[in-house]
């Protein structure tokens, strides 16, 4: 079986999704989950794009072990030197240099001739090799470029010493067979048996990113660049969970395998969705709510008789289910720790104690607690300094009644209370919290979904907000949706106080493959 490397670019290309702004702590949390997932390479960011991106790459390089840590760089010495500095602490490092191949990119964006791009590519690959022996080369927009120039460009990159050549369909233009033929020609005639990896990086503008990446694997590619939940520019990137499970389920066809711990896929999906504020559609393959649900009577009958009738993979294989587990208010700390461990969570005694207090409070209100409830409880935990915490709230709302919220927060000055009106109970709660804290962010998006099924399900609220030049995401879970909303708003404000918002810098460096 060929080993297909998984190059995850959630923290670089994925974070370029409109409306997404991850802070350092959030990016580090995702990076650690990617390491648990078993990805081969983490593209941690674009080092020269901002001081914040540089610092975040450097911290991931210091703290995340296992995968190769990579930074993107354009074909200039300043970019490459900055990437090398950020990656210096990494056990294994890669510099990913890129240019463009299509006529429209060369003329309208780079304003260079093909000959200039060939010379610059050779020079900058050799320069990058001074800092690491692992250099990847990419040329944007291959599928709209002259094929002969594409082959000439990648031949030059290999001669200069590139160890991986990446063939991006930057705008999702290609058809699977067409893209596969390009990869096959590069494999047979350009690489020609040399020890150089062929990588694929596809966008989903026509909904074919996964198909394009798998066509590349069929034709000799040994690396797939992808993101959790398929997030990214415009319609997104190749979905990591889709290509991984396609290769796993159809080993008989692809004759290949990845080294991904598939049981961490669902956890990774939920984490990225929660921290980015980007929901996963219910019918999303592998990780959507309906991916393993059966509504049709014929399907239900078949699955009851034998799961293989309509399920080509096991839900537990992607971490969708753990052993049946029911806990309640009488469960002890040891049982709680064991339940978390069974779900793959390991925490210090201090964090266990904090989570256990929330668990007891939830069990008193909800009764029985299931695996998804525990996941939501853990995922709503906060490592943000708690300047303000919710102590109590009361809502008055109804038909022809102006909603009123009473909020009590623990603050550095002690307990403080406020009452406010609003267009709805959530708006009233937000206003009361802002009155107490003196901070009024501007709400961008508000999303709520049930964590589990039934009338006693936990509600999970995810919001994105702006404050001055910062973009912040906040999450909260509770059986009461107003409480969950209040907790999400308080989390946003605590991040503002702690200076943990992400400043998005718009520069010409913010280019995408």
**Pair 172, 204: CB distance under 8 Å:** yes
Q: Identify any residues that bridge with 138 across adjacent strands, giving them in sequence order.
A: 98, 166
DSSP calls for 214-249: HHHHHTT--EEEEBGGG--STT-B-BHHHHHHHHHH
DSSP state of 106: I
Give the sign of the dihedral formed by CA 81, CA 86, CA 91, CA 94: negative
Residue 393 has a CB neighbour count (10 Å cut-off) of 20
Q: Cα–Cα distance between 386 and 354 in angstroms, integer? A: 12
Alpha carbon separation from 475 to 232, 287, 490 (Å, rounded)? 21, 20, 9
- Quick check: helix, strand or coil at residue 463? strand
Say if residue 13 carries a ligand binding annotation. yes
Per DSSP, helices labelled H in 88-239 are: 103-105, 114-128, 147-160, 176-185, 209-218
Helix H or strand E segment including 71: strand 68-74
Say if residue 421 carries a ligand binding annotation. no
Say if residue 306 carries a ligand binding annotation. no
Q: Cα–Cα distance between 26 and 144 in angstroms, integer? A: 36
* Cα 119–chain centre separation: 36
**Six-digit token string for 43:** 């593209």
Q: Cα–Cα distance between 217 and 238 in angstroms, integer? A: 13
Say if residue 201 carries a ligand binding annotation. yes
**Binding-site annotation: residue ranges for Mn(2+):** 13, 201, 203, 237
**Binding-site annotation: residue ranges:** 13, 201, 203, 237
């Amino acid at each position: 079986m060929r080993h297909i490397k998984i190059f995850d670019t959630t923290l670089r290309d994925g974070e370029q999704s409109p409306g997404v702004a991850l802070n350092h702590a959030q990016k580090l949390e995702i990076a650690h989950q990617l390491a648990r997932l078993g990805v081969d390479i983490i593209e941690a960011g674009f080092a020269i794009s901002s001081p914040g991106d540089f610092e975040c790459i450097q911290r991931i390089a210091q703290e995340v072990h296992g995968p190769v840590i990579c930074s993107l760089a354009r074909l200039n010495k300043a970019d490459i030197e900055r990437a090398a500095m950020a990656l210096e602490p990494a056990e294994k490092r890669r510099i990913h240099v890129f240019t463009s191949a299509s006529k429209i990119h060369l003329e309208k964006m780079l304003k260079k001739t093909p000959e200039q791009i060939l010379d610059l590519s050779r020079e900058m690959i050799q320069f990058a090799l001074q800092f690491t022996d692992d250099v990847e080369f990419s040329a944007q927009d291959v599928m709209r470029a002259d094929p002969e120039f594409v082959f000439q460009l990648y031949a030059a990159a290999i001669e200069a010493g590139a160890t991986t050549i990446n063939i991006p369909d930057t705008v999702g233009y290609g058809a699977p067979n067409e893209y596969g033929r390009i990869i096959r020609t590069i494999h047979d005639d350009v690489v020609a048996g040399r020890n150089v990896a062929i990588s694929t990086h596809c966008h989903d503008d026509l909904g074919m990113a996964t198909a394009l990446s798998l066509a590349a694997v069929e034709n000799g590619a040994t690396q797939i660049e992808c993101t959790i939940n398929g997030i990214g520019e415009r319609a997104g990137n190749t979905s990591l969970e889709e290509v991984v499970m396609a290769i796993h389920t159809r080993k008989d066809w692809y004759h290949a395998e990845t080294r991904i711990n598939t049981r961490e896929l669902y956890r990774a999906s939920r984490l990225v969705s929660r921290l980015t504020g980007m929901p996963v559609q219910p019918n999303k393959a592998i990780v959507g709510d309906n991916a393993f649900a059966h509504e049709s009577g014929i399907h239900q009958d078949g699955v009851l008789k034998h799961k293989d009738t309509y399920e080509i993979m096991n839900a537990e294989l992607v971490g969708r289910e753990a052993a049946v587990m029911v806990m309640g208010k009488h469960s002890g700390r040891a049982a709680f720790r064991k339940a978390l461990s069974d779900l793959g969570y390991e925490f210090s005694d201090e964090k266990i104690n904090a989570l256990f207090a929330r668990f007891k409070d939830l069990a008193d209100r909800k009764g029985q607690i299931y695996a998804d409830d525990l996941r939501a409880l853990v995922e709503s935990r906060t490592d943000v300094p708690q300047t303000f915490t919710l102590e109590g709230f009361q809502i008055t709302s109804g038909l022809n009644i102006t909603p009123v919220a009473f909020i009590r927060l623990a603050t550095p000055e002690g307990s403080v209370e406020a009452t406010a009106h609003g267009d709805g109970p959530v708006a009233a709660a937000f206003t009361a919290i802002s009155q107490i804290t003196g901070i009024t962010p501007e709400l961008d998006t508000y999303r709520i979904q049930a964590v589990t099924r039934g009338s006693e399900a936990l509600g999970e609220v995810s919001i994105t907000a702006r404050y001055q030049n910062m973009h912040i995401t906040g999450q909260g879970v509770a059986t009461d949706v107003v409480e969950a909303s209040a907790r999400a708003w308080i989390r946003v404000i605590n991040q503002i106080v702690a200076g943990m918002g992400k400043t998005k810098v718009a520069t010409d460096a913010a280019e995408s493959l």
